[in-house]
Amino acid sequence: MTRRGFCPECGSPIVGKPDAAPEIVALRTASLDDASWFKPQMDVWTCDESGWYQMDPELPKFEKYPG
């Protein structure tokens, strides 16, 4: 199960917290006004990888949520 957080003003999804990995908070960077300061720590859901997005080869990869 995953707990999800939404913007109280517009209802957009912002975060997810998987019960299987409580140390992880999945932040939707598209929800940030300025994502330039954000440093990704891993790539998740790589089983749904899009051809247009180039993943950082240095980051750990997980087909789904780790845990």
Tens-digit pLDDT profile for residues 32-55: 788 788 888 888 888 887 778 888
- Per-residue confidence (pLDDT) for residue 34, from 0 to 100: 82
> Would you say residue 14 lies in a domain?
yes
> Would you say residue 39 lies in a domain?
yes
> Would you say residue 28 lies in a domain?
yes
CB-count burial class (<10 Å; 0-12, 13-18, 19+) for 61: middle
- Per-residue confidence (pLDDT) for residue 67, from 0 to 100: 64
> Would you say residue 8 lies in a domain?
yes
Structure tokens at 32: 């940030």
Q: For 63, which DSSP code?
A: S
> Would you say residue 12 lies in a domain?
yes
- Per-residue confidence (pLDDT) for residue 31, from 0 to 100: 76
> Count of domains in the chain?
1
Q: Which domain holds residue 25?
A: 2-48
C-alpha to C-alpha distance for 36 and 5, rounded to whole angstroms: 22
